[in-house]
Amino acid sequence: MPLFFRGEYAGFIVKGNFMTLAAKPHLVEEGEWLAHQIVEQNRLLSGMLRCVQEKDRTTGRPTCNEHSCPSMSAGPTTYTWIDTKGNPINLPAPTYIKHIQTWVSGKVQDQALFPTDNFTTAPPLPRASDVKADPAHYLGRTSGFPQRFESEVKNMYKQMLRCYAHLYWQHWLVFWELGGHRELNTCFVHFMNVGRAYRLLGEKDIEPMAPLVDLWIKEGVLPKYEEEGGSVASPTSVPERGASTVVGPTSGAGVGNAGTAAAWSD
């Protein structure tokens, strides 16, 4: 079993209830909230990726390079890219990840998908009962988001999860040797908390990281939802005043002479 699936290596840099970061504030429309989450999650992921993208001072190459990572893999799972003709192709992990980062950034900056000038013209938030009764309602409609917004968000989230899975399976030792494995855990548990709360990820998406997710559920770090046999409903609001948790990469983190092999234990 990889070391990062074991409880002694699954800790965080902060204490507190991660749901305070995932639960939608009462007066914020869900589309607006998910748009905010995508931007924030992309920022946090980018900070973690930089740890394996910066050049090693000794070798002059990034830790994650086409020789160390000839494919975008996460343990036994290999992810393929879809080319312009719709065919799956194998790409080196750094190329795949760069494509994802460029693609997600492009989506976020697309005014048709993530409108930023609708705030003054958007109608008042409707009552929940009115929304349920409206057959034309879709996620983000009242805030000016397009009908495809939800599916696009889910696709972005799935691709970002693949980046996290690659970091754990192929580069966890880098974070361990830098003393940054708890920062990685903190960003990832926040990512998973949001993804599970708003059903942005499927079981198959989570599969490469399922043992760690299951461990956090067992320890009570992640909630167990009703559809999973638990007693927790998906979040809709947070208290007006409550403990907050600050999540972010440690400043100045870089890559030293760390190895690139996946970390395993007997």
- Binding-site residue positions for Zn(2+): 64, 69, 166, 171
Cβ atoms of 172 and 262 within 8 Å: the answer is yes
- Which positions make up the binding site? 64, 69, 166, 171
Provide the terminal-to-terminal Cα distance of the chain, rounded to the nearest Å.
Answer: 7
- DSSP sequence for the chain: -BGGGSGGG---S--S-THHHHSPPTTS-HHHHHHHHHHHHHHHHHHHHHHHHSBPTTTSSBSS-TTT-SSEEETTEEE-EE-TTS-EE---HHHHHHHHHHHHHHHHH-TTTS-SS-TTTSPPPPPHHHHHH-TT--TTGGGT--TTHHHHHHHHHHHHHHHHHHHHHHHHHHHHHHT-HHHHHHHHHHHHHHHHHTT-S-HHHHGGGHHHHHHHHHTTSS--BGGGTSSBPPP----SS-------PPTT----S---SPPB--
